[in-house]
Amino acid sequence: MSYRPLPPEVRLGFSDIHDIGLFAKKDIEKGHNFGMSHLKIGERLIRTPLGGFLNHAEHANCFKTALRYTCEEDSKINYKVWNLVAIQDIKEGKELTVKYTFYEVE
């Protein structure tokens, strides 16, 4: 098994929104889960490559859904993961966007 920094259905490309963004390599159906975009351990927020190239849009075509994990054996192990999910059909070549909730938009 080899490491893939991005899901196979997306690619990087030049964005009209901001510099570089994520684009669909094929038609993607509403409800598709692209995988983890962000991870929070304690107070530290970590962006995966998927989360690092997402651009903001007020009317986004994707949403970050939160999953919380705790360890029954050790209550100190507590973290949160956000997965990126398509909230509408996305046509091949269209940029994936999300409404920012972690960062200020300038």
Residue 63 identity (one-letter amino acid): F
Q: Is 98 exposed, middle or buried (0-12, 13-18, 19+ CB in 10 A)?
A: buried
Give 27-86 pLDDT, tens digit per residue.
Answer: 999 999 999 999 988 788 899 999 999 999 999 999 999 887 776 676 666 788 999 999
pLDDT for 10 equals 97
Give the confidence band of 19 by pLDDT, cuts at 50, 70, 90. Answer: very high
The model's pTM: 0.84
Measured CA to CA, the distance from residue 102 to residue 99 in angstroms comes to 9
